[in-house]
Amino acid sequence: MFKSKILIRPSSFHVVDVIFVALRRVRFGYELGNLAPNLMTSLHSRLLRRGAACFPRRTALARAAVQMIVGLVLADPIIAAAAEDITPPTVVSTRGEHNEDEVIVEFNEPLDRASAEAVKNYRFLPCSDVASATLAADERTVTLTLIGGSVGPGLMLRVNAVKDRAGNMIAPNSTAVVEVRVFAITDGLIGHYRLDGNALDSSQRANHAAEVGSPSYVPGLIGQALSLNGTDQLAQAADPGLAGNGRKSVAVWFKQDAKANKGLFSFGDSSAPGALFELLLRGGLSGGYFWGDEFYAFPAGLPFEAYAVGEWQHAAITYDGKRVRSYLNGLRVMQRDLSLNTVSGPLLLGSGNTEFSSAYFNGLIDDVGLWNRALSPPEVSAIHSAGRYLGEDLTRPLYPVPAPSLSFSFARQGNGIVISFWGVLQAANDVNGPWEDLWDVCGTTTIVPSEARKFFRFRF
């Protein structure tokens, strides 16, 4: 509650007017006169009683009085309510990782959740529909999942009908070019075991492994390889920092002597479903296992992908925080939504979970890599190609961003033309433009010239 111990000696009633005009204009969602009636009444009566007195710095006094009163008002949390928001939200940035199916959109202010998560409010060019839109806890960041497309050069986003919390709607057809992020393959590399005569980690982590059971080193696919007897040999390192539910990947070259149920890589344990991160072989088939009846990266009935025994093969598993992908020889063979929470523990190379005697691998392993991010499909393919065809380890592949591509075919049909294309279709009523992007036209469609659309063209 305000108390009226304020000593002000104005020189005229003009100062009273100035103060009251200022007070009446200081509004933060409420009327000051209603919130502080005691202050208003007391100040008014004191100013009236001393109105005839003369004070030399009348202007400065009035200003000081107003500042003091406003300061008291602003200090009150009830009075200091937010000013009215009349500004519509805008897109600050859009970004995605190359060849992935998610785009992160950042807005300049908190959003209304219903409109921010309405998939109909987003559209991509070249044509990709939105499967889901999820507003983050900060209420400014929206994650969009694409249908029938992936992040690549030339991708554009159009946003409509998204509102802020005050109900202001974004400008119609707000557009942004998606910033495509391309990793160097060594980004996030937290373990690299070349196995060239030793089990040292050549990544910056230097999390060196130690041989268990006296395995040997023999010529491999890339330099030397670790030779394991399938009984009691492996290489073991300390916790590599892959615990938790964050993103992670592992890739390894292997050559098995004979079909057998064995492990290539293991981290974590069997304490709970999803607590293990393991790459297994089973009778000439390969895949990932994470402990628990439902925690594997393969469909029922075909849980592992076939490979050839006695030949070098490349296997990889990635986890992006919500889905696991399994790869064999550079190709993605399975994808499954899973929620992993890998526990801390030792890293085993050339073995699965050693609770099982069959875990130890029988054959050769080479060039093992660990990442604290999810490798993209082109990255896995590049690692495989560099090793198989060039004899290069996983740090050497070049992974350039491909240039935007454009393809189309057409055939006349009645008064129109049936076209199939990948790219962006534009229309104009004059050959010199202006040209309009046709956001709702993609794939295969029939175009018919009209007064508004006499000419058509494609662009990246």
Is the CB of residue 206 less than 8 Å from the CB of residue 197?
no
pLDDT digits (tens, 9 = 90+) for 34-59: 444 444 445 445 544 544 444 444 44
Query: What distance in Å separates the CA atoms of residue 280 and residue 278, rounded to the nearest whole number?
Result: 6
Is the pLDDT reported for residue 207 higher than 90? yes
pLDDT of residue 240: 85
Sequence-ordered alpha helix ranges (H) in 336-447: 377-390
Q: What is the mean pLDDT of residues 248-265?
A: 92
Query: What distance in Å separates the CA atoms of residue 65 and residue 71, rounded to the nearest whole number?
Result: 10
Is the CB of residue 321 less than 8 Å from the CB of residue 246?
yes
64: left (phi over 0), alpha (psi -120 to 50) or beta: alpha
**Can you name the residues that pair with 235 across neighbouring β-strands?**
211, 349
DSSP class of 86: -
Query: What distance in Å separates the CA atoms of residue 256 and residue 260, rounded to the nearest whole number?
Result: 9
Please name the residue that has the structure tokens 């409010």. 121
pLDDT of residue 302: 44
pLDDT of residue 110: 96
Query: What domains, with CATH codes, occur in the chain?
Result: 13-75 (no CATH), 91-181 (2.60.40.1220), 189-390 (2.60.120.200), 407-459 (no CATH)
Query: What distance in Å separates the CA atoms of residue 8 and residue 48, rounded to the nearest whole number?
Result: 11
Task: Determine the residue type at 185.
Answer: I
Tokens of 243: 């615990």
Q: What is the mean pLDDT of residues 255-260?
A: 91
Please name the residue that has the structure tokens 């395995």. 215
Q: How many C-beta atoms lie closer than 10 Å to residue 31's C-beta?
A: 10
pLDDT digits (tens, 9 = 90+) for 376-392: 888 888 899 889 988 99
186, 196, 203, 261: which is closest to 235 by C-alpha? 196
Helix axes 58-75, 13-25, angle to 10 degrees: 30
DSSP class of 145: E
pLDDT of residue 148: 62
Is the CB of residue 318 less than 8 Å from the CB of residue 354?
no
Is the pLDDT reported for residue 118 higher than 70? yes
Is the pLDDT reported for residue 200 higher than 90? yes
2, 72, 85: which is closest to 37 by C-alpha? 2
Where would I find the beta strands (DSSP E) of 359-406?
362-371
Q: What is the mean pLDDT of residues 405-427?
A: 68
Query: What distance in Å separates the CA atoms of residue 21 and residue 44, rounded to the nearest whole number?
Result: 12
The angle formed by the CA atoms of residues 193, 202 and 297, to the nearest 5 degrees, is 40
Q: Which residue has the higher pLDDT, 193 or 407?
A: 193
Is the CB of residue 316 less than 8 Å from the CB of residue 380?
yes
Q: What is the mean pLDDT of residues 342-368?
A: 85
pLDDT over 70, % of the chain: 67
- Burial readout 228-246 (b: 16 or more C-beta within 10 A, e: otherwise): bbbeebbbbbeebbbbeeb
The model's pTM is 0.57
The angle formed by the CA atoms of residues 286, 290 and 292, to the nearest 5 degrees, is 115
Helix, strand and coil content of the chain, in percent to the nearest 5, comes to: 15, 35, 50
At 421, is the pLDDT very low, low, confident or very high (cuts 50, 70, 90)?
Answer: low
